Amino acid sequence: MAIATINPTTGETVRTFPELSESEIERKVGLAHKRWRTYRDTGFDERAEWMRTGADLLEQEADAAARLMTTEMGKTLAAARGEALKCARGMRYYADNAAEFLADEPLADPAAVGARHALSRYRPLGPVLAVMPWNFPMWQVMRFAAPALMAGNVGLLKHASNVPQCALYLEDVFRRGGFPEGCFQTLLISSGRVEAILRDPRVVAATLTGSEPAGRSVAAICGDEVKHTVLELGGSDPFVVMPSADLDRAAETAVDARVQNNGQSCIAAKRFIVHSDVYDAFTDRFVAGMRALTVGDPFDPATDVGPLATERGRAAVEELVDEAVARGAKVLCGGRRPPGPGWFYPPTVITGITRDMRIFTEEVFGPVATLFRAADIEEALEIANATTFGLGSNAWTRDEAEQDRFISDLDAGQVFINGKTVSYPDLPFGGVKHSGYGRELSAHGIREFCNLKTVWIG
């Protein structure tokens, strides 16, 4: 894939970038390794000051950063601005909390292990390669970079090929924030160049957010090299609605949960599983909400849903919908691309899904909701868990016993009751099953790329 900014609203190529040469990659990996040997011993206060200055820059430049995101991948300008500010918040969160998260953990009773003192100490690992997706082109990077840098690691970013300007901008933010050269570098390379970097002994670990095939590939190489990985892969999150739910709020949130980021979020609710008693009432509200959305230019403040980020991405969504319809699924709204330029696809609701349809098992990365009817909580849980993914999940019920059932029995890394799945710096984020492993954000996220060193002093 060419490394280029291609505006999804128009389909026009705005700017292309040459890939790094072998010698440029060698220089950058060498610099990362050399820098880490001094950077690892900088103090938390110093790192926090650079991180906060970077956060200030992102806040001051939020409008420009937002325009970059909207131009490169088509999210609405308001959403993009929110993303820039969320990055700043994530940076401050780790600037404020890293020292506490990584403080020594003394053993209460060292005599039990025959020591005078015993403790665990978190030490950084070294240069980490981050392979990142385009859908949250700044936030996905920041939620790796802020904790990794605060822990004393250095970062190498291989960003998605369609968001090179976002990638270069983030490198610039860290540099201007005050981080020494080499602490965070963008590598403009295609995915075929990733393997050699993962096998380089100077690169000690990797994190990938993206699709399942990309995750499998990176994990296989790192497995072969015995290097630590964190994988944040796809999701097909269930959104269950039970009879005691507040239907107006559930339907309104369902619309937002499905179409956020133009339908291209790993934690978007994708499968809506509704109890028979409220199925018709919920469906009417939900379909009306989806129909009422304005699809159009993401720079226009009146727009709710912009284009999909890539032509290939839209074709993949269309294929899943068309195959389901050919096999008998019923389209309640949307389902057909509009004429004209840009990679638009309308908010769509489909029902009558059977398990032999690809749309039942695959992630739909666009504003398409599949709707299921469940007779009771057992059937709702069975449908919700009938997927190889396990990232986020949502259940709407005011019944506390039911809430508890969903919290315990939904196979997912996250359960949101009476709300939609959202990532916050303060909450751990990650999945189970084919959605990946490891955790980002919170205290857990910063510890992923640390050596938890056991210390025994006699």
In sequence order, the 6+-apart residues with CB closer than 8 A to the CB of 2 are 16, 161
Q: Which of 266, 333, 363, 440 is catalytic?
A: 266
Rounded least distance, CB 363 to ligand NAP, Å = 5
55 contacts 92 by C-beta, under 8 angstroms: yes
Alpha-carbon distance of 52 to 54, in angstroms, equals 5
Which of 304/440 has CB closer to ligand NAP?
440
Strand order in the sheet with 368-374: 330-333, 348-351, 368-374, 269-275, 237-241, 394-396, 416-417
Q: Which of 232, 363, 440, 448 is catalytic?
A: 232
Rounded least distance, CB 235 to ligand NAP, Å = 5
Write the DSSP symbol of residue 375.
S
Rounded least distance, CB 415 to ligand NAP, Å = 16
Which of 83/232 has CB closer to ligand NAP?
232
Which amino acid is it at 400? E
Which of 231/274 has CB closer to ligand NAP?
231
User: The tokens of 432 are what?
Assistant: 């189970």
Residue nearest to ligand NAP (CB): 210
Dihedral angle at the C-alpha atoms of 353, 356, 359, 362, nearest 10 degrees?
140
Q: Note the residues at the interface with ligand NAP (CB under 6 A).
A: 1, 131-135, 140, 158-161, 190-191, 194, 209-211, 214, 217-218, 232-235, 266, 363, 365, 391, 431, 435-436
User: The tokens of 239 are what?
Assistant: 């959104």
Rounded least distance, CB 236 to ligand NAP, Å = 9
Rounded least distance, CB 392 to ligand NAP, Å = 9
215-221, Cβ contacts within 8 angstroms, sequence gap of 24 or more: 215/436, 218/131, 218/194, 221/194, 221/195
The Cα angle at residue 243 between residues 239 and 248, in degrees rounded to 5: 70
Q: For this structure, is 266 an active site residue?
A: yes
268 contacts 364 by C-beta, under 8 angstroms: no
Secondary structure class of 373 (helix, strand, coil): strand
Which of 52/216 has CB closer to ligand NAP?
216
Which amino acid is it at 424? Y
Which of 140/348 has CB closer to ligand NAP?
140
Which of 6/65 has CB closer to ligand NAP?
6
Which of 141/250 has CB closer to ligand NAP?
141
Rounded least distance, CB 138 to ligand NAP, Å = 12
Alpha-carbon distance of 136 to 155, in angstroms, equals 18
In sequence order, the 6+-apart residues with CB closer than 8 A to the CB of 14 are 4, 5, 6, 7, 71
Rounded least distance, CB 437 to ligand NAP, Å = 11
331 contacts 325 by C-beta, under 8 angstroms: yes
Strand partners of residue 124: 450
Alpha-carbon distance of 16 to 58, in angstroms, equals 24
User: The tokens of 253 are what?
Assistant: 């949130």
Q: Where in the sequence numbering do the catalytic residues fall?
A: 232, 266
